[in-house]
Amino acid sequence: MPSLVVKLYSILFKYQQRQLLQSLTTSTQQTPNNKTNPNPNPKPDQNYQFGFGVTSRTHEPIVPSNPSFKDGVATKDIHVDPSSSLSLRIFLPETAVTSSASTHPPPPPPPPSHDYAGYSPPPGALHRRLPVMLQFHGGGFVSGSNDSAGNDGFCRRLAKSCDVVVVAVGYRLAPECRYPAAFEDGVKVLNWLAKQANLADCRRLEDAYGDSHIFDSFGASLVEPWLAAHGDPSRLVIHSFNALIIQNYGVRNALTWSCYQNRCVLLGVSSGANIADYVAKKAVEAGKLLAPVKVVAQILLYPFFIGSSPTRSESKLANSYFYDKAMCKMAWKLFLPEEEFSLDHPAANPLAPRRQLPLKYMPPTLIVVAEHDFMRDRAIAYSEELRKVNVDAPVLEYKDTVHEFATLDVLLQTPQARVCAEDVAIWVKKYISLRGHEFSY
């Protein structure tokens, strides 16, 4: 059974979350949709576009970004879409600049008078490149943020344990922006990452050839420096090795080789797991259109799945800790458009009949479930269906745990949370490592 502290905190959490859900429900009833939508009759595919949206709630504690390496990880926030509130927080582990495998010494700290006191990749140096993990936070689609205290601590742990650059997505929340806003935000970030990879590759080709026509000043302004220097658009492309590839195989073959060496992993927490699963499907459908980025695996931590036909755990644990079934239904009513509401909506039920992409095309999927979470059985059923079509889809179940046991700020230091992060790192490294080696240059 969960500890007494967990039980007490669950009572407080559920009280606050119910208050939030009821407040948001009341506000949506008082505000007709045509007052927030400049187009009173939007097309179905435009429902998510009209709202600038919000990515956090005022009552939730947030942690400011720190571009200097604190506790082994540097962070920065960027805004990637001028038409919405979509934002990103990048977590760069210190091993990217201090690892013994790196071919250059760590950069000296900037002088005190420098305007920017954070880490900036030194120009012209050889940089260690790491895989990229897109992370989607939880919160039932209506709360949570990529810069909350719990999510910041969890992503720092991921960056260090998995040795990856974590890009935490601050997607738009409901009901200000309903489905498919958050899902499309995830796809938009994946496309943005592909663009970053292409721009970084062009920049390296420019360095190799000295051709200013390959990469102009306008393109340079679009490059995110941390991802360009340390992200994993292609594990094998660093300045010296890239030059060797170009010399031996030519520019066309160098770019082709680059495209086949990409590693990107999706990780979703609770409702964020539903987003990650959607983004994975869209990545499969996009295929080579996302080149040079390729989604090689996804991790779904206690996904926010539900359905009209209750599973055994949904019946037995309906009043479970933190998120119970009634709260879950309220969140889905706030997230899905009123005319689309159904517990068997494809966004809610991964095994719904309306699912378009066959399961056999899904990437390897690790699913983490908690013993005392009413949503656990549906997540397990999803993994079983994936395994039936030969998708690597193991399930990790943790005893005496509750929903969000590995990501809530008050539970981050529990033994189960630490072990979960270690287990995720062990599994994911076989997909982000080149030919089984953790480090590749």
Residues labelled catalytic: 270, 373, 403
Length of the chain: 441
d(CA 379, CA 305): 7
Task: Name 319's Cβ contacts closer than 8 Å, sequence gap at least 6.
Answer: 325
Q: Are 127 and 441 in contact (CB under 8 A)?
A: no
Q: How many CA atoms lie within 13 A of 337 on its CB side?
A: 13
Residue 409: how many other CB atoms lie within 10 Å: 17
> In a 10 Å sphere around its CB, with 0-12 CB exposed, 13-18 middle and 19+ buried, how is residue 191 labelled?
middle
Q: How many CA atoms lie within 13 A of 158 on its CB side?
A: 33
B/e letters for 32-49, b = 16+ CB within 10 Å, e = fewer, are eeeeeeeeeeeeeeebbe
Residue 133 phi/psi, 5-degree rounding, is -120, 120
For residue 180, whether the previous peptide bond is cis, meaning omega lies within 30 degrees of 0, is yes
d(CA 435, CA 295): 17
